[in-house]
């Protein structure tokens, strides 16, 4: 802590012409202060101050922690109001890809697909849908957006967030917050900060230096605050030794004193660890209940360890936001009706705009002429719509179409469209079990326990995958001495991925496990409890032999068709990281075989984040659709048949292998050692690392193909106030309307003796141009993008001097390269 500054005046010039001091933000190494020499903050509005004088201590405390909702609408959190003083309750619902309540809602494309549009206007539209639906569905707060950076390709929630690039993340989060709040719903930016992985997320201690913290992870959070976000959710993890939810450098020095945040900070669910330290550090609300900020807080006020003024400070913040959203008004703002059509329209538009074409050989796509009239659709998610990821981002969608049906509709009735599953999600009936059990659909009545103890005859040694589909309690299945479906780690049991609920016959959950079995009899025991509601389960298996038959069937279908559309999936969820970058199951072998049989194979990826693609060279095309939301089937078909251009670009680098990416082979970086991890890559996250290390990725950040071609020319770089103005001309040189995303990258400043990226995104413009159309584009580079965080000064410094400025179509493909002069001067690096 070196420069105490007042809020809102945190950015000021510091002596030297090229240096701009910013927020006094501490070094993030100080532990939370002992007892309260804390700033209590300015009075809020007269209305809030008047309420504060009338609230009893119990009533104040009730405003600082969650409790059960007496009229539960299925949302994640509930804050009881104070009816005596007409303070209404608050309902808080997830989440990032649509409202998670009991009711149906618009299942929007995953945020990572929104980000792929490189279009802040679409982020606003996305936010508007969340905002309106939240209000319509009885909610007051949405627990979104998530803006943690994509740091590791394995992280289970990469689909819920935007990008590895801080500028792009910041632009999108700000517009999404504006969109949500324009509808009267309070947005919550999460998870503050550095919840960049699921592995050990509730305990991992993230060690990070000031410079990368400010330049990378914090930029998005700051942008959300600048956009007026009402609430911030603290992360589960520790940051430099202190839990994020009781971390004074984060919650007070940076968020309040540095950025002037005047809303409230809530915990992530069950993420509080203390009473005095949390409140003192700047936490305001505990969710979803109150072990620390309920009775314990009352006691702490009673014994003098927490001054009541500190309680008032938090209450003031909560009521202040409620007042801003007119929730304290005599007449509560009217709730709109849902507009499912508007939600569906936005979901479709965004899914089309974010569709990212990674590869397209010999005009495999779009499907036209003979190729569009004879199509083999292969893969489980070719039939099952893959809507969204698992965990708290799960949404009950209004509707979902099968991609196969959408493809059939686009191909027309004269086309021949076949379907084969290829990769079996369901398994085949168990052979050779002793009698007495119906593993194809065993019903267990309520209150009854079913047991089976018999043998399973295996005729040849083989790799078996056992799959169980079940409703109710998960049955216990033991083969020899191995429990096949033990309780899932983390939240996996509760929160399986997007394919979990896709079992047939209304069965709700699916688990599978691969095992190598020897020939001979194996002992199989199954115990299933009927519980209160009864139980139904189905236990099946696939083997090397059944898989070979499935692949052979897919290959036959591929050979018989002019073109193939092969859907591949990867099923990510909150609560668990992926264990590798390959597609799960035997999908790699399937794609290999099918693409070898028919090179006009377009692979559609319903995946959360990057995957490795050992089969890439054999394919005709690869279309990255992520988790495309409830309108995903229509969006996918529209892109496949060329009714719209694939306008998405990668917002994260795709590594070529599991051992060549920023956190590979460095357990101290990821997943951490002995509970601690080091962000020793510094500012070299994502593409910055690949450039700094000279590593060639599979696909670079910013990559994505169009069905047309574009020429770039006429680069100019001029000073523009405290930033730069970059001009260039783009021409659509092809024969159809298409989208290009022009990306302005900035090289390092020769005047700074700080770590700098070889090239960093400093601006961008998504453009749709008709064939032959020309547009002159100007992209502004802000002073913030020209600045670095100087840990010696705890502030931003402007990167002056001659800097390379280039315009590219990915981090690795620069079309125009020039230089810009950044003069010393009064640059104020606002976001
Ligand atoms: C997640 C949050 C979510 C909360 C409430 C937590 O497990 O990390 O993102 O908002 O649950 O569902």
For the CA of 94, the nearest atom of ligand 1:
10
Res 35: pLDDT: 40
- Do the domain assignments include residue 460? no
Reported pTM: 0.93
Output the CA 796–ligand 1 centroid distance in Å.
33
Element (H, E) at 350: helix 340-354
- Do the domain assignments include residue 683? no
For the CA of 144, the nearest atom of ligand 1:
10
Nearest CA to ligand 1 atom 5: 76
Residue span of the structural domain in which 209 resides = 47-324
For the CA of 191, the nearest atom of ligand 1:
9
Q: Is 141 in the pocket of ligand 1 (CB under 6 A)?
A: no
Rounded-to-integer distance, Cα 163 and Cα 170, Å: 10
CATH of the domain at 797: 2.60.40.10
**CA nearest neighbour of 469 among 433, 421, 506:** 506
Which residue among 291, 324, 357 closes a domain?
A: 324
- Do the domain assignments include residue 40? no
Q: Is 143 in the pocket of ligand 1 (CB under 6 A)?
A: yes
Which residue among 266, 300, 324 closes a domain?
A: 324
Strands 77-79 and 231-234: unpaired
Nearest CA to ligand 1 atom 3: 392
- Do the domain assignments include residue 616? no
Output the CA 237–ligand 1 centroid distance in Å.
13
Active site annotation includes 691: no
User: What's the domain count of the chain?
Assistant: 2
Q: Is 728 in the pocket of ligand 1 (CB under 6 A)?
A: no
Res 488: pLDDT: 66
Q: Is 234 in the pocket of ligand 1 (CB under 6 A)?
A: no
- Do the domain assignments include residue 589? no
For the CA of 288, the nearest atom of ligand 1:
5
For the CA of 391, the nearest atom of ligand 1:
7
Would you list the DSSP string of 607-654?
-SS----TTGGG-SEEEE--S--TTHHHHHHHHHTTSS------SSPB
Nearest CA to ligand 1 atom 6: 269
Which mutation among 98, 191, 269, 271 tests ligand 1's pocket best, with the greatest number of atoms within 8 A of CB? 269
CATH of the domain at 108: 3.20.20.300
Report, as ranges of residue numbers, the positions in the chain whose pLDDT lies below 50: 1-37, 491-495, 826-828, 831
- Do the domain assignments include residue 752? yes
Q: Which residues neighbour 15 within 8 Å (Cβ) at sequence distance 6 or greater?
A: none
Rounded-to-integer distance, Cα 694 and Cα 345, Å: 42
Q: Is 679 in the pocket of ligand 1 (CB under 6 A)?
A: no
Phi, psi (rounded to 5 degrees) for 662: -60, -25
- Do the domain assignments include residue 252? yes
Which residue among 297, 324, 351 closes a domain?
A: 324
Query: For the purposes of burial, counting CB atoms within 10 Å of the CB of 426, is it exposed (0-12), middle (13-18) or buried (19 or more)?
Result: middle
Res 439: pLDDT: 85
Output the CA 94–ligand 1 centroid distance in Å.
7
Output the CA 176–ligand 1 centroid distance in Å.
18
Q: Is 320 in the pocket of ligand 1 (CB under 6 A)?
A: no
- Do the domain assignments include residue 472? no
Output the CA 236–ligand 1 centroid distance in Å.
10
Nearest CA to ligand 1 atom 11: 269
Nearest CA to ligand 1 atom 8: 268
């Amino acid at each position: 802590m070196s420069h105490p500054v007042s809020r809102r005046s945190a950015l000021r010039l510091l002596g030297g012409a090229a240096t701009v001091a910013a927020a006094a933000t501490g070094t993030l190494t100080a532990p939370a202060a002992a007892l309260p020499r804390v700033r209590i903050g300015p009075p809020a509005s007269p209305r809030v101050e008047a309420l504060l004088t009338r609230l009893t201590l119990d009533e104040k405390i009730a405003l600082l922690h969650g409790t059960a909702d007496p009229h539960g609408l299925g949302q994640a959190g509930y804050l009881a109001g104070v009816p005596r003083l007409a303070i209404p309750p608050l309902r808080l619902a997830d989440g990032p890809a649509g409202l998670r309540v009991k009711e149906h809602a618009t299942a929007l494309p995953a945020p990572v697909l929104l980000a792929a549009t490189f279009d802040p206007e679409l982020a606003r539209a996305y936010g508007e849908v969340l905002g309106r639906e939240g209000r319509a569905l009885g909610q007051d707060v949405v627990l979104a957006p998530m803006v943690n950076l994509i740091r590791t390709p394995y992280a289970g929630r990469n689909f819920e967030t935007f990008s590895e690039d801080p500028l792009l993340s910041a632009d999108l989060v700000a517009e999404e917050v504006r969109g949500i709040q324009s509808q009267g719903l309070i947005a919550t930016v999460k998870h503050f900060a550095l919840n960049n992985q699921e592995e050990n997320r509730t305990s991992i201690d993230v060690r990070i230096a000031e410079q990368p913290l400010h330049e990378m992870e914090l930029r998005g959070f700051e942008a959300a605050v600048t956009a007026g976000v009402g609430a911030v959710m603290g992360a589960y993890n520790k940051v430099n030794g202190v839990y994020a939810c009781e971390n004074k450098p984060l919650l007070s020095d940076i968020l309040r004193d540095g950025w002037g945040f005047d809303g409230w900070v809530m915990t992530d669910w069950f993420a509080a660890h203390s009473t005095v330290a949390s409140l003192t550090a700047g936490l305001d609300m505990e969710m979803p209940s109150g072990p620390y900020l309920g009775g314990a807080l009352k006691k702490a006020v009673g014994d003098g360890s927490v001054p009541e003024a500190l309680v008032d400070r938090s209450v003031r913040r909560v009521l202040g936001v409620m007042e801003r959203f007119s929730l304290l008004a005599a007449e509560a703002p009217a709730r709109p009706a849902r507009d499912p059509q508007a939600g569906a329209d936005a979901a479709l538009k965004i899914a089309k705009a974010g569709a990212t074409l990674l590869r397209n050989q010999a005009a495999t796509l779009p499907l036209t002429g003979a190729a569009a009239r004879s199509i083999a659709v292969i893969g489980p998610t070719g039939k099952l719509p893959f809507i969204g990821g698992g965990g708290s981002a799960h949404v009950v969608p209004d509707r979902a179409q099968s991609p196969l049906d959408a493809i059939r509709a686009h191909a027309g009735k004269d086309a021949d469209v076949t379907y084969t599953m290829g990769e079996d999600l369901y398994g085949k009936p168990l052979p050779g079990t002793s009698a007495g059990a119906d593993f194809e659909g065993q019903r267990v009545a309520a209150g009854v326990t079913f047991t089976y103890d018999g043998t399973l005859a295996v005729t040849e040694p083989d790799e078996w995958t056992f799959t169980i589909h079940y409703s109710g309690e998960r049955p216990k299945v033991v083969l020899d001495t191995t429990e096949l479906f033990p309780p899932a780690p983390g939240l996996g049991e509760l929160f399986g991925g997007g394919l979990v609920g896709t079992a047939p016959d209304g069965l709700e959950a699916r688990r599978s496990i691969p095992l190598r079995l020897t020939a001979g009899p194996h002992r199989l025991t199954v115990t299933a409890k009927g519980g209160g509601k009864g139980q139904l389960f189905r236990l099946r298996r696939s083997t090397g032999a059944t898989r070979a038959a499935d692949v052979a069937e897919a290959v036959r279908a591929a050979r018989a068709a002019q073109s193939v559309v092969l859907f591949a999936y990867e099923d990510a969820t909150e609560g668990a990281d992926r264990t590798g970058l390959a597609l799960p199951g035997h999908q790699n072998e399937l794609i290999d075989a099918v693409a070898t049989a028919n090179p006009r194979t377009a692979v559609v990826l319903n995946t959360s984040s990057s995957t490795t693609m050992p089969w890439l060279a054999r394919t005709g095309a690869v279309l990255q659709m992520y988790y495309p939301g409830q309108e995903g089937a229509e969006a996918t078909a529209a892109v496949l048949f060329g009714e719209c251009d694939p306008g998405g670009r990668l917002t994260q680098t795709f590594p070529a292998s599991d051992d060549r990416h920023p956190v590979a082979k460095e357990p101290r970086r990821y997943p951490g050692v002995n509970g601690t991890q080091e962000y020793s890559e510094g500012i070299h996250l994502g593409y910055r690392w690949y450039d700094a290390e000279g590593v060639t990725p599979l696909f670079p950040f910013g990559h994505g193909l169009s069905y047309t071609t574009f020429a770039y020319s006429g680069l100019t770089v001029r000073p523009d106030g405290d930033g730069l103005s970059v001009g260039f001309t783009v021409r659509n040189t092809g024969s159809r309307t298409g989208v290009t995303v022009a990306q302005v990258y900035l090289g390092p400043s020769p005047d700074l003796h700080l770590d700098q990226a070889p090239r960093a995104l400093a601006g961008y413009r998504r453009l749709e141009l008709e064939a032959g159309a020309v547009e002159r584009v100007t992209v502004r580079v802000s002073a913030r993008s020209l600045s670095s965080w100087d840990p010696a000064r705890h502030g931003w410094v402007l990167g002056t001097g001659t800097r390379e400025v280039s315009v590219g179509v990915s981090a690795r493909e620069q079309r125009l390269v020039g230089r810009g002069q950044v003069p010393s001067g009064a640059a104020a690096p606002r976001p």
